[in-house]
Amino acid sequence: MAVPRSMRRTSPVTILLAALLSFGFLFFLLSPSSSTSLSFHSRHEDAAENPLSPPTKPFFKKQQIRRNGQKAPPPVVHYRLNNLTATANPAENGERVLILTPLARFYQEYWDNLVRLTYPHELISLGFIIPKNKEGNAATSALQAAIAKTQSGPIDNRFASVTILRQDFDPPILSQDEKERHKIENQKIRRESMSRARNSLLFTTLGPATSWVLWLDADIIETPHTLIEDLASHNRAVIVPNCYQRYYNTDTKKMDTRPYDYNSWRDSDTALEMAAKMGPDEILLEGYAEMPTYRALMAYMADKESNPDPRKIVPLDGVGGTALMVKAEVHRDGAMFPPFPFYHMVETEGFAKMARRLGYSLFGLPNYFVYHYNE
């Protein structure tokens, strides 16, 4: 079977740089004063103490480390991960959320929105993967500055841990220009490369204590502050909000919103027939006039009425990744982002098919919005 040349070339998706953002937590954990004051969910227990906090936080668990004032040999710590739930009330149950973001450009609005999330920050770990190019270097610097500020700011804002990975391969398309990125012939290559980035990030940051993974693209600059609680409250294996974009409507002379992400859909007979006729390395793409799939797109399922129900929920066959909430067990079972055509789909839509093959169901919230940056 022929393997596309581009995949051969980029195949060693190893990682350039994982910035282990410090051992502040460990100092805290090992400091004499900490052993007496630990109580479940105390803010001090889980907050990063240092601006630079360790990515391995999800792997740790509180424990007594001193006995009679002596350093005691550390006990065997049991993660009772049958108690590691992923429920509709994650904060009450102390469920750790890993927010994963492939980052090409840093937007301050993205970070500000992240910091405003109401979910307890001591239960949130962040993971980033950034291309190794000039733009990626700039994004890394800006991100690190933002991290340093937040992690040394008010304790309630500090996240449990932050990991930054750098890819060792260039993104296949150099331009981040909107039109260039969306050209149909570039999409397959771009999304296969993005799949490898997502997989590298996922495989190296998921820990035994992670309950949920929230995929959040770096250009999502506005979400409800209760995003995590809201998505989790539906208690679904995989759930996606509707990704829109704000823009200036020249007709009405007012700010307006329009659909942005077309990757969340229900399948159609047409699409399935098109797929059946395709060669093994061809893929179906959504949102292109030259490839009409007649899939039912969640982008167009939003109710027009003035007070649409944000809890309206629809089953989906494909999902986008701009904002995507996944129970960690789905990933642990093996669901990843196929960097090769999988049932003629790649990346997040391939992930959706893989999750379905694993027996999970996927859902979307057509009236619950997150907003994409408008360049």
What is the token pair recorded at 17? 């740089």
For its own copies, the closer of residues 188 and 331 by Cβ is: 331
Smallest gap from Cβ 92 to its own copies, in A, equals 19
Out of 34, 55, 121, 215, point to the residue binding its own copies (CB under 8 A): 55
Map residue 129 onto helix, strand or coil: strand
Residue 134 interacting with its own copies (CB under 8 A): no
Q: For the segment 271-300, give every residue that binds its own copies (CB under 8 A).
A: none
For its own copies, the closer of residues 79 and 247 by Cβ is: 79
- Taking CB under 8 A as the binding criterion, the range among 176-184, 238-246, 293-301, 351-359 that sits at the site for its own copies is 351-359
Nearest Cα to 24, choosing from 203, 170, 161? 161
What is the C-alpha separation between 324 and 1, in angstroms, rounded? 33
Tell me the residue length of the chain. Answer: 375
- Taking CB under 8 A as the binding criterion, the range among 55-63, 227-235, 249-257, 291-299 that sits at the site for its own copies is 55-63
What is the C-alpha separation between 318 and 101, in angstroms, rounded? 20
341-373 burial code (b ≥16 CB/10 A, e <16): bbbbbbbbbbbbbbbbeeebebbbbbbbbbbbb
Residue 22 interacting with its own copies (CB under 8 A): yes
- Taking CB under 8 A as the binding criterion, the range among 251-259, 300-308, 355-363, 364-372 that sits at the site for its own copies is 355-363
- Taking CB under 8 A as the binding criterion, the range among 39-47, 240-248, 357-365, 367-375 that sits at the site for its own copies is 357-365
What is the C-alpha separation between 233 and 212, in angstroms, rounded? 12
- Taking CB under 8 A as the binding criterion, the range among 1-9, 99-107, 242-250, 292-300 that sits at the site for its own copies is 1-9
x/- binding map, residues 202-221, to its own copies, per CB under 8 A? xxx-xxxx------------
Out of 62, 94, 133, 168, point to the residue binding its own copies (CB under 8 A): 168
Smallest gap from Cβ 229 to its own copies, in A, equals 21
Q: How far is CA 146 from CA 109, 302, 326, 334, in A?
A: 11, 34, 26, 33
- Taking CB under 8 A as the binding criterion, the range among 6-14, 93-101, 107-115, 249-257 that sits at the site for its own copies is 6-14
End-to-end, the C-alpha distance of the chain in Å comes to 41
Out of 16, 155, 275, 296, point to the residue binding its own copies (CB under 8 A): 16
Residue 337 interacting with its own copies (CB under 8 A): yes
| Contacts of residue 114, Cβ cutoff 8 Å, sequence gap at least 6 | 99, 126, 216
Residue 107 interacting with its own copies (CB under 8 A): no
Q: Judge whether 302 and 366 are in contact, CB under 8 Å.
A: yes
Q: For the segment 296-335, give every residue that binds its own copies (CB under 8 A).
A: 328-329, 331-334
Three-point CA angle 326, 323, 7, nearest 5°: 85
Q: For the segment 178-197, give every residue that binds its own copies (CB under 8 A).
A: 195-196
